Amino acid sequence: MTIEDAGEVHIGDYVTMGPNCLLTTIAHPRSTRQRRQRLAQAKRVEIGNDVCLGAGVTVLAGVKIGDNVVVEAGAVVAQDLPANGVFAGIPAGKSMIWPMIADKCQLVV
């Protein structure tokens, strides 16, 4: 796991992350002028409780991930994810609602 922490990173309780996850707080500007001036912004990343990030997940600057969330391997989280869901893809989008899969999941302590 790699954390680029120019800004604050909050990781909740009981969070698991697969190999090669990236959390970045660095947001690069989209305008040519600002990029030429090397103006980047640091934005907080927040990961809630009981979150599972699969292998190779990238979480971009300024994102908040709610509680009880699973992010499938290889996903790119570019905007906030609400609590209680399973998300996949680039950019990450909802693939299941948590109660639909809750009975299939086991908590390993």
Task: Specify the 3-state DSSP secondary structure of 96.
Answer: strand
41-50 exposure pattern, b = at least 16 Cβ within 10 A, e = fewer:
ebbebbbbeb
**Rounded to an integer, what is the distance from CA 45 to the centroid of its chain?**
8
**Is 10 designated active site?**
no
Q: For residues 69 and 12, what is the distance between their CA atoms, to the nearest angstrom? A: 12
Q: Which helix (H) or strand (E) holds 95?
A: strand 93-97
Instruction: Choose, from 10, 28, 44, 94, the residue flagged as catalytic.
Output: 28
Nearest to 10 by CA among 64, 77, 85: 64
Active site positions, annotated: 28
